[in-house]
């Protein structure tokens, strides 16, 4: 049996106070134990929905009694389908084995990374994980990854910036700066102190709350860039959040009420779109960290010469949160995806 590894969304965190198991995923999994356990039982319900599919598993206890557990798939519908996993792989009444972690906060809740079906086929329920039961499987890190050879003929299509862009892979190489998404987050002592009192069950993702800037740009889901007159629109397919980048003169925008997405003004410097975002409300960042209303963001978005790759850099300045500007460094590829609408149902917390 292969040793179990998790390859979450790649990051670099410049905070020694964060424990290794706090490495960032799509949303927080801090309520779950570190140790991997294997459950065996009967699959009695499948709920294929966002923010993550769930199952019900009936297991037999040693005293002969029956117990029903809620099984949460690690991935979202998109990250699972990207690896080839869909609800048709699961049959009610079949006997399965599930590898994952038990919740330390909620009774009878289990986080599933891998499921072994009755026919011997393994389904990996985490887009950043490897097989646990078998050498070959559906889903997981290997099936999620895309490379430069998987792109469309973008030069022939000649759409430039304005297309659907996809995250290529979920690499574990972030500490060498090789991840598809890398973060440098130098939180100050005040931010760390506030985070220490955070309850992971308060994660807004569990309640289907759309992200603000800049975290809306970190999701592993696809993004669509489009033109609106001289302006640029960015649609984050997770939660269908739309940003408008105003391409305007140097007089700047008129005053507006602050919002979680702020007010974004862009200008072109050669092939790079430089975007400055201000007028942001204090908003949730992730995993118990928040940004203040002093935050300002500069983004640099650069299209490759062959139009197959989009490089993205965001510098986030917030003196109330960071000791120095934070950085988000990532890239997307033109994979020609057509993502399904993102409909989310809030997780019921007991």
Compute the distance between CA of residue 285 and CA of residue 320 in angstroms, rounded to an integer. Answer: 13
Classify the phi-psi angles of 223: left when phi > 0, otherwise alpha if psi is within -120 to 50, otherwise beta.
beta
What is the DSSP secondary-structure string of 67-123?
EEEEEEESS-HHHHHHTT--GGG--TT-EEEEEEEEBSSSTTEEEEEEEE-TTS-EE
Compute the distance between CA of residue 104 and CA of residue 125 in angstroms, rounded to an integer. Answer: 20
Compute the distance between CA of residue 36 and CA of residue 95 in angstroms, rounded to an integer. Answer: 20
Residues in the chain: 350
Decide if 173 contacts 181 (C-beta within 8 A).
Answer: no
Helix, strand or coil for residue 145? coil
Among 166, 178, 69, 177, CA closest to 127 = 166
Intra-chain end-to-end CA distance of the chain, in Å? 35
Compute the distance between CA of residue 327 and CA of residue 325 in angstroms, rounded to an integer. Answer: 7
Tokens of 154: 């973008």
Compute the distance between CA of residue 93 and CA of residue 174 in angstroms, rounded to an integer. Answer: 41
Helix, strand or coil for residue 296? strand
User: What's 31-143's CATH class?
Assistant: mainly beta
Tokens of 294: 């002093």
pTM of the model: 0.84
Residue with tokens 């003929």: 153
Helix (H) or strand (E) holding 22: none
Domain ranges of the chain: 31-143, 148-333
Compute the distance between CA of residue 346 and CA of residue 49 in angstroms, rounded to an integer. Answer: 10
Tokens of 249: 């003169």
Helix, strand or coil for residue 191? helix
Name the DSSP letter for residue 260.
S
Phi, psi of 116 (to 5 degrees): -100, 115
Per-residue pLDDT of the chain (350 residues; tens, 9 = 90+): 333 333 333 333 443 334 333 334 444 566 788 899 999 999 999 999 988 899 999 999 888 889 999 999 998 899 899 999 999 999 999 999 999 999 887 889 999 999 999 999 999 998 888 999 987 899 988 888 787 788 999 999 999 999 999 998 765 444 445 677 888 999 999 999 988 887 777 777 677 888 899 999 998 899 999 999 989 999 999 999 999 999 975 455 556 789 999 999 999 998 899 999 999 998 888 777 889 999 999 999 999 999 999 999 999 999 999 999 999 999 999 999 998 888 887 665 45
């Amino acid at each position: 049996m292969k040793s179990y590894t998790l390859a979450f969304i790649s990051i670099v965190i410049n905070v020694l106070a964060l424990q290794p198991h706090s490495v960032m995923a799509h949303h927080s999994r801090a309520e779950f134990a570190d140790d991997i356990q294997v459950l065996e039982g009967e699959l009695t319900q499948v709920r294929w929905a966002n923010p993550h599919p769930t199952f019900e598993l009936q297991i037999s206890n040693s005293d002969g009694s029956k117990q029903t557990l809620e099984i949460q798939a690690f991935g979202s519908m998109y990250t699972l389908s990207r690896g080839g996993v869909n609800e048709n792989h699961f049959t009610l009444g079949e006997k399965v084995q599930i590898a994952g972690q038990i919740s330390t906060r909620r009774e009878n809740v289990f986080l599933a990374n891998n499921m072994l079906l009755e026919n011997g086929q393994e389904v990996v329920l985490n887009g950043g994980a490897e097989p646990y039961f078998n050498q070959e499987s559906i889903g997981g890190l290997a099936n999620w990854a895309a490379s430069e050879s998987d792109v469309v003929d973008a030069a022939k299509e000649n759409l430039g910036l304005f297309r659907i862009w996809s995250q290529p892979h979920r690499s574990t190489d972030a500490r060498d700066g090789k991840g598809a998404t890398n973060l440098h987050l130098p939180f100050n002592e005040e931010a760390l102190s506030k985070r220490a009192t955070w309850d992971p069950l308060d994660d807004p993702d569990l309640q289907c709350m759309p992200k603000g800037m800049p975290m809306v740009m970190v999701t592993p889901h696809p993004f669509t860039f489009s033109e609106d007159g001289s302006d640029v629109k960015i649609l984050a397919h997770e939660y269908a959040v739309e940003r408008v980048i105003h391409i305007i003169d140097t007089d700047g925008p008129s005053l507006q009420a602050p919002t979680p997405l702020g007010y974004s003004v862009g200008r072109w410097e050669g092939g790079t779109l430089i975007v400055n975002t201000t007028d942001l409300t204090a908003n949730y960042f992730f995993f118990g960290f928040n940004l203040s209303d002093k935050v300002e963001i500069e983004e640099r978005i650069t299209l490759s010469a062959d139009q197959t790759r989009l490089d993205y850099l965001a510098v986030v300045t917030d003196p109330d949160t960071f000791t120095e500007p934070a950085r988000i460094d990532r890239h997307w590829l033109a994979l020609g995806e057509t993502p399904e609408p993102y409909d989310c149902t809030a997780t019921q917390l007991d």
